[in-house]
């Protein structure tokens, strides 16, 4: 095999449709020489159909990142398809509707706890579940949305992303001794299924299209996916705890 990820074995979470960033990651990874295993949750038949649209049909493992039993069994499930892992992609986020769209002040703790469990704590949970399969040179890469600011309508998901960004730094700290890196890609707004579930998300879309120095294509997941692949590759061997912005430069501007 040839390519940036030749011989790499990757676990990619979060593929729901072929408009998912995770789908673009899996597709480009295969095109660059990697073996890919996917995880799905809920509508498994849908994920399995989407997996067949990749250049090479990828196996799909059911994984609820809040289910301790499934997390404990993940390594064995992955070993049915590959003999180890060189990289893990965390593309998972969820918040109940009460936590979005202006509900910051009224969302109950039970819903906030769900958002934090799925969107923040799961980054550590997934990394630890995959750890028995990983060795020096391995990488964990997650996806965030700039959590240095308070965004209209993003509310508790913004808090969850801030936690994710901190969790990645702590994972970098604790896994560094094992030679495993942890980095995030901060993508601009994209018209994914997750984005469509956020009331008022079009406010982000209009702002980015108008103000990003490089411009911004709301339907092109490939730039974010390419950044993920770079961080999974051997070209960033001494980079960890980092957040790479793939947002057309929007984050660099003042208000």
For residue 161, indicate whether it is catalytic. yes
| Closest listed residue to residue 42, CA positions, set 60, 59, 62, 23 | 62
Structure-token pair, residue 52: 């067949």
Residues 165/124, Cβ–Cβ less than 8 Å: no
Which string of b and e fits 188-204 if b means at least 16 CB within 10 Å? Answer: bbbbbebbeebeebeeb
Q: Output the six-digit token pair for 155.
A: 């509310």
> Exactly one of 124, 154, 178, 196 is catalytic; which is it?
154
Measured between alpha carbons, how far apart are the two ends of the chain, in Å?
47
* Active-site residue identified among 8, 27, 161, 250: 161
Using CA atoms, how far residue 71 sits from 29, 75, 106, 130, 229, in Å, is 24, 8, 32, 9, 24
* Dihedral (Cα; 42, 44, 49, 52), 10-degree rounding: 120
Q: Residue 238 in contact with residue 203, Cβ under 8 Å?
A: no
170 among known catalytic residues: no
Active site members: 154, 161
């Amino acid at each position: 095999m040839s390519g940036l990820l030749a011989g790499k074995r990757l676990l990619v979470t979060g593929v729901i449709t072929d408009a998912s960033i995770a789908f673009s990651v899996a597709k480009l990874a295969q095109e660059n020489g990697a073996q890919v295993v996917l995880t799905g949750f809920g509508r498994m038949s849908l994920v399995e159909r989407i997996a067949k649209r990749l250049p090479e049909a990828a196996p799909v493992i059911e994984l609820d990142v809040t289910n301790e039993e499934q997390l404990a069994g993940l390594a064995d499930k992955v070993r049915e398809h590959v003999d180890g892992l060189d990289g893990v992609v965390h593309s998972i986020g969820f918040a109940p509707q009460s936590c979005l769209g202006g509900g910051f002040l009224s969302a109950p703790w039970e819903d906030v706890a769900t958002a934090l469990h799925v969107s923040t704590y799961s980054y550590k949970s997934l990394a630890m579940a995959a750890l028995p399969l990983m060795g020096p040179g391995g990488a964990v890469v997650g996806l965030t949305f700039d959590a240095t600011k308070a965004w209209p309508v993003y509310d508790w998901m913004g808090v969850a992303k801030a936690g994710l960004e901190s969790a990645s730094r702590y994972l970098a700290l604790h896994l560094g001794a094992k030679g495993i890196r942890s980095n995030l890609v901060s993508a601009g707004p994209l018209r994914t299924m997750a984005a469509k579930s956020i009331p008022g998300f079009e406010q982000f879309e209009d702002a980015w299209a108008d103000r990003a120095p490089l411009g911004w294509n709301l339907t092109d997941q490939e730039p974010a996916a390419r950044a993920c692949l770079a961080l999974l590759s051997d070209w960033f061997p001494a980079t960890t705890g980092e957040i790479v912005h793939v947002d057309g430069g929007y984050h660099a501007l003042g208000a």
